[in-house]
Every structure is written in structure tokens, then in C-alpha cells.
A and B are shown apart, each in its own frame.
Chain A
Amino acid sequence: EAQVTQNPRYLITVTGKKLTVTCSQNMNHEYMSWYRQDPGLGLRQIYYSMNVEVTDKGDVPEGYKVSRKEKRNFPLILESPSPNQTSLYFCASSLGRGLASGGETQYFGPGTRLLVL
């Protein structure tokens, strides 16, 4: 089954304790992206990756890191989480090139709900 998976789905942590949220897709997609969703602010892009070893900042990258060592995986790293990073996080992927019909469509993971105390 074609899908984007995220782990963990729920996480409660304390300020300053490093954590990683994993994202994996099995569709051989080139493009992957992280969003955070907050009430009243909607979904905002954190980081994106066009392909292996190619990453760049989105609109709200402060406090986050990413890596893309393999095509299928795109982990989100919070080196020193703070309470303002409490949010619902989504990973998404797409073919990227948009050459094939539907290739531009982004598919989302189930979300990771993070609470930083």
C-alpha cells in the first residue's frame, strides 16, 4: 500500500530534550516536506527536500533540522525543543517533477502530535 508513515504519532517531552520524528514514504517520491499545523495559523512549511542530500528551509525553519540521506526517509529533528514547538506535524511527499498527471499531488502522513512541557 502506497503511504507516508510517521513515528511517533504522539509525543510528550520536556524542554531541551532532543527528539526526532521519522517520516518514510514507499512511493519513490523525490519531493518531501514537513509542515506544522497550529490553531489560527493553519499549515506552514518547515523544511523541504527536492531529493537525496538536497534540503532547504521553508517558512518556519527556526529550531528544526532535517536530513535526507535516503530517498524514502526525511526525519525532522528538534535539537532543543521549546514549548512554542508544541504542534501537530505533518510529513508530505510527491513525485516532485509534476510531469505525470497527478505527480504534483502531495500525500500526507498521519501526523505527529507533539507536546513540549
Chain B
Amino acid sequence: AQTVTQSQPEMSVQEAETVTLSCTYDTSESDYYLFWYKQPPSRQMILVIRQEAYKQQNATENRFSVNFQKAAKSFSLKISDSQLGDAAMYFCAYRTSFGSNYKLTFGKGTLLTVNP
């Protein structure tokens, strides 16, 4: 079974600075998808960014980018020019490409605080 590990329970960053959240995963599969979701105090789960494992190019979405290292099974999220609205719990998630259950396997999350 796949596992996802987020080794940083909490992180903090100054407004306008850059922060990187870590995620590692364990899988024997070669094709899969990785996601970062954001959960603000409203508890809504919001997709931040996604990455297909077969793509070598790292995904970017405005101020959010990932560093996908397939061989190392690492998928870190970089937030540039941090804003107060970025404060939230961030979850890394894995989804298989195989079978009929497209279950997301989540890490335990990293709570990001943004200081003004």
C-alpha cells in the first residue's frame, strides 16, 4: 500500500517570503498522480497543484510550484511571495493510475502560519 509522509507538522513564513513544504511517498508503481491540497480554517479542501508522474517538468500554478523528484519519491511544494491568505493546513496526496479505486492517500498535513 502506498504511504505519504509529511515530516513537518508545522511551518511558518514571513509575508512575502518563500517557504517549501516537504512530502515523500512510498510506492512500487511507475505511473501515478500527486497533489497538494490546501485546507484553510473553513475546512474546505482546495486543490493547489497537481503533477503527473510521467511528466518530468515540474508543475507550476502562479506562486505555487513543485519540485518533483521521482527517483527519490519526493514532492515538495514551494510557495513564493507568501500571503496572509496562504495560511492553512497543506496536505500532500497520492493517487494511483491503476485499478478502479482512485483513492487519494493523504499525508498528515503541514500547518503553515504566515506572519505579517
Contacts and interface: CB of A to CB of B under 8 A. Distances in A.
A42 B109 CA distance: 8
Interface residues of B, number: 22
Contacts of B108: 40, 42
B115 to A, nearest CB: 24
B97 interface: yes
A46 to B, nearest CB: 10
B94 to A, nearest CB: 11
Given A58-B101, A98-B97, A105-B50, A42 B44 contact: no
A96 B102 contact: yes
A48 B47 contact: no
A26 to B, nearest CB: 17
B43 A88 contact: yes
Contacts of B43: 88, 110-111, 113
B34 to A, nearest CB: 10
B33 interface: yes
B106 A94 contact: no
A102 B95 CA distance: 13
Contacts of B91: 42-43
B101 A104 contact: no
A102 B52 CA distance: 9
Interface of B: 33, 35, 37, 42-47, 50, 91, 95, 97, 100-104, 106-109
